Amino acid sequence: MKHPASTPPGVESQRRALLRLDRIGKDYAKIESRGGRLRLVWDLLRGRGAASVFRAVDGVSFELRRGQSLGIIGENGAGKSTLLKIIAGVIQPTRGSVEVNGRVGALLELGSGFHPDYTGLANIDLAAALLGITPSEIATRRDEIIAFADLGEHMNDPIKTYSSGMVVRLGFAVATALDPDILITDEVLAVGDESFQKKCVKWMESYLERGGTLLLCSHSMYHVQKLCAHALWLKDGKVVSYGEAVAVTQEYLAYHEEKTAAPKRPLAPAVAQSAGIYAIERFTLAPEGEMPMGGDLRLSGEMHSPDGREPVVLIGIVRADGTPVYGVATDMDAAPPRRVAPNRYAFDLVLPRLPLLPGKYSIRAHALDPEGVRLFHTVEHSLVITGVTREMGFVRLPHRWEDK
């Protein structure tokens, strides 16, 4: 994050970092055999570290200022929950330092402080005490908590009779009474019914509007984009990407599309004259590699024709996971490639105001026989579409909302 060069008098206390992490690391000892546990105990007694460790978090640094919001994303086992527990003070880091300048509210395991034999009403006071909420604070907010949980007559039933969704409702309702400087949430929005999730999102939005600082861990890129201005992507305990939420989540989604894509069939050599086939000998994009959403894309290339006949060029666009997006061929538009030499043909295609949504794509050029029946050769280039949008799908369609 960029910091201002100077701060007006009286504002510095508001702009100082509420949370600062400096090269945080967390190691766990690996025990790979029956005797490994005894060797670990012996090494620790001798003041030596574990010989073999698993690095759950490694070298993570960032800071949050008042009113900012950060989404933590990554696959299962990436180190997200470990990082949040370090920030919340539940566990201590192996390396690095954590600086917290404010009251922290951590929604890591909603309902973990409830007693199963107590009623929901009685558990409000118990959970509040565990969260550090004073009796006077609870007294003024008890009705608000009950209304937020919206459990009706079940508030007088023992917790052990609750469903998991009901427990989550009560747990989040109690947490809303914290009003912390920094709110830490771990997959809170992954549980509960849709109406309750909407209520939680609305409360978080209100919390941010009041100047709260949010640290949200979620597998939902929609919620990260909706609630967070910035995002941090963890993989194997390390930071892969850190920046604006839309850009980081798009990069993360593209990674998953490539990861889940079907194995690609081997492409033919770039030049195949000696094999006597129709082949793409040159294929270029302009711009190359990356372009903004809505920009003009020009594709140019040259083909080899073994018999001098006019081949067919097919241009295809696929998403990173292999999902077809669009395709068009020269014979469809009666626009054959132009002859530039006895056995050589050139083609140019312009896609104006390309409506692709941000993400990673492959642009493919296919060489077909003059009949457009047999595919002989394929060349492809990757293209990243950049931009900021919360629209979904592959393309942006012209639209308007009407107020009738």
Q: Bin 248: left if φ > 0, else alpha if -120 < ψ < 50, else beta.
A: alpha
Residues paired with 104 in a beta bridge: 182
Quick one: DSSP state of residue 210?
Answer: T
Can you state the angle between helices 120-130 and 164-175, rounded to 10 degrees? 50
Q: Give the whole-angstrom CA distance, residue 200 versus residue 143.
A: 17
Domains of the chain: 14-258 (3.40.50.300), 273-386 (2.70.50.60)
> Given this model, what pLDDT does residue 150 score?
87
pLDDT of residue 129: 76
- Give the integer Cα–Cα distance in Å for 356 and 207: 34
Residue 120 CA from chain centroid, whole number:
35
Q: What is the pLDDT, as a whole number, of residue 349?
A: 96
Laid out side by side, the sheet with 213-217 consists of: 104-107, 182-186, 213-217, 69-73, 230-235, 238-244
Q: What are phi and psi of 89, to 5 degrees?
A: 85, 10
Q: What are φ and ψ of residue 274, in 5° steps?
A: -65, -20
Cα(first)–Cα(last) distance of the chain, in Å?
A: 44
Contact 21, 64 (CB under 8 A): no
How many beta carbons lie within 10 A of that of residue 228, not counting itself? 26
Q: Which of 239, 261, 393, 404 is nearest to 321 (CA)?
A: 261
Angle at CA of residue 104, ends 100 and 107, nearest 5°: 135
Residues of the chain scoring pLDDT < 50: 1-14, 266-274
Amino acid at 72: I
- How many Å apart are CA 107 and CA 126, to the nearest integer? 16
Q: Which residue in the block uniquely carries the two structure tokens 């201590």? A: 92
Q: What is the DSSP string of 269-337?
A: PS--GGGTS-EEEEEEEES-SEEETT--EEEEEEEE-TTS---EEEEEEEETTS-EEEEEETTTTT-PP
The residues near 394 (Cβ < 8 Å, ≥ 6 apart) are: 319, 323, 325, 356, 357, 359
Tell me what pLDDT residue 4 has. 33
